[in-house]
Structure 1
Amino acid sequence: MEILRILNNNVVVALNDDQKEVVLMGNGLGFQKKPGFQVDKSRIEKVFEIKNQVESIRIEQMLSEIPEDVIAIAFDILNYAKKKLNKEFNETSFISFADHLHTAIQRAKKGIQMKNFLLWDIKRFFPEELAIARKGIQFVNEKMGIELSDDESGFLTLHIVNAEIDSTNEAAINLTQMIEEILTVIKYTLKINFAENDIYFQRFITHLRFFSERVLNARLDEIEEDAVENELFVLINKKYPEAFEATKKVVELLDTRWHYQASKDEQVYITIHIARIIEKTK
């Protein structure tokens, strides 16, 4: 691969074997190099494929403006997250993660703090990701000699969630809001308070998370027809009338608020989860 442009010592723009421009990141990739030199492939740690000229300009501008030490810290945090969560991340999410971290550091140096109003929900819905983000914030504070608040941990958590679901940061926020809305509907329909440390509630949150991702991504073409027989659907509804009443409210919410039609399969799973929570609460 031939180097086209050097952004800094660790980031270069190159022409790959398919004659397409890519942004490469790795320790010392651009050090003492010039356009026309061959890339040392053994040093490549990340590859950002460029889809169009607009994206190329955006990626190059952001990576050239972010200090190398911040890029290195962002890289370490996301690598740590990948290992702890045992998941592969969307590569382009690294750029928005590093950019947010750079902005947060600049704010902290100026004594500016931003309140994260989703922090309480983030603690409930993404505890693993939040724990990782907090470790990352602690690492940043030690390395940079600053004091980023726990609110910033929440913001970084959303970026980690965003990297997992391969979408935009808005999608991570929507995911949190959808889960909160569903829980609120269930809570007020049944007039109960959730025991949030209970295993049944935690399992329900896990189910809601994956379900909500599917709703937000509108992957209707990937959803098979109802596998649940109509008799079973009716039986579950009769066996758990309270839970099914709450499920109906959730279905209405999804239809009116998110324009999504829940299948019978999904309604059965939601009803069973709610029934377990009701039983445990009582």
Structure 2
Amino acid sequence: MGNYKISKVLNNNVVIVCDEKDRELIALGGGVGFGKKRGEYISDEDMEKKFIAADSEDLYKKLFNTLTRVSVEYVDIVDYTVEIVKKDLGIKLNPQIYVLLMDHLSFAVERAKEHLNLSCPMLAEIKIIYKNEYNVAKKVLDYCEKKLHIRLPSSEAGFIAMHIMNATNCTSDINQTLDVMVIVNGVVRIIKEYYQIEFEENSLDYLRLLTHLNFFAKRIVLKQMEENDQEVIELLQGKYLEAQKCVDEIVKYVKENFGYTISEQERIYLAIHINRNVKKK
């Protein structure tokens, strides 16, 4: 069992310590810093979790800054999120989620206390495209209520799901995840306005459309251009003429807002998915 020398007490639940190898750690635990002073010692039994600076200096600094203003309950909530994602989805999350989700939840709680509800404009699409992540996020909301004694609005499940999605991919960041959802939402809005319709959100065709738009949006965000298949273009060009006019609006939106030029083949695929969803209207 290790002994850790306290170098700084951040609050009653968070202290900075050095281990026997002189490595700096953040030690967390209920009351771990209560009544403690610099130079005193704690043991493994005193802490519930620890983060070592040498593992990731950038993560360590961000975590240090976050923990100076949030309570240890937020660490417990993120621990729960990591475990439930592993259990339900079989996915190991990027440790960055400790910083990003704690930061998000702490501000969400502040807003809830002031009765300020932040809507999630992509919530309907998230529920469908990322159904599994959304179901986990709802469990996290329930756990937040249990630990913090405050019920966050249901829209927060959408934001939590986005953080989970982001943390499953170490190469992306939350801004990329948000951009993907903004593009999907924007394209869906254009189709709705062009045809003056509402989609049947439980239909298989709508699920296919959103799945296609999700990958389409990721290519835009990552600046990946899909190669044209001339045989496919020649076979389908001239079909779905009304849907092609709607696609013209989408092409304009994507070019103006994201500087991305949609390929001819992608235009045709979009028209096919749009046609499937509007042909029965």
Runs (5+) with no aligned partner, structure 1: none
1:59 corresponding residue in structure 2? 63
Query: Aligned residue for 2:208?
Result: 203
Aligned to 2:148: 144
Please give the alpha-carbon distance, in whole angstroms, between the structure 1 residues aligned to 2:51 and 2:263: 40
1:193 equivalent in alignment to 2:195: no
Separation in 1, partners of 2:159, 2:103: 12
TM-superposed CA distance for 1:61, in Å, is: 2.0
Query: Match of 2:140, as an amino acid?
Result: G
Q: Write the deviation string for residues 52-75 of structure 1: whole angstroms up to 9, x where unpaired.
A: xxx654331213433222201221
The one-letter code matched in structure 2 to 1:193 is E
Q: Is the 8 A contact 1:97 1:159 kept in 2?
A: yes
Q: Given the alignment of the two structures, is residue 94 of structure 1 paired with residue 94 of structure 2, yes or no?
A: no
Residues 1:104 and 1:193: Cα distance change in structure 2 (over 3 Å): closer
Equivalent residue pairs, number: 264
Call closer, same or farther: CA 1:266–1:10 in 2, change over 3 Å: farther
Which residue of structure 2 lines up, in the alignment, with residue 263 of structure 1?
Answer: 263
Counterpart CA distance in 2 for 1:248 and 1:60 is 48
Counterpart CA distance in 2 for 1:193 and 1:104 is 31
Instruction: Note if 1:49 corresponds to 2:56.
Output: yes
TM-score with structure 1 setting the length: 0.73
Partner of 2:217: 212
Structure 2: stretches of 5+ with no match in the other structure: none
Alpha-carbon RMSD across the aligned residues, in angstroms, is 4.0
Give me the identity figure in percent. 24
Compute the TM-score of the two structures, normalised by the length of structure 2: 0.73
| TM-superposed deviation, 1:97 | 0.2
Which residue type is aligned with residue 250 of structure 2? V
2:116 paired with 1:114: yes
Could you tell me which residue of structure 2 aligns to residue 237 of structure 1? 237
Cα deviation code 1:221-257 (max 9, x no counterpart): xx5x61x432321321223223333223222221122
Query: Distance between the aligned counterparts of 1:11 and 1:211, measured in 2?
Result: 46
CA 140–94 in structure 1, closer or farther in 2 if over 3 Å, else same: same
Cα 1:207–1:24 change in 2 (3 A) is farther
CA contact (8 A) 2:229 2:265 kept: no
Distance 1:80 1:24, change over 3 A: farther
What secondary structure sits across from 2:237 in the alignment?
Answer: helix
Q: Secondary structure at the match of 2:233?
A: helix
Counting helix residues as a fraction of each chain, which structure ranks higher? 1
1:184 to 183, 189, 194: 189
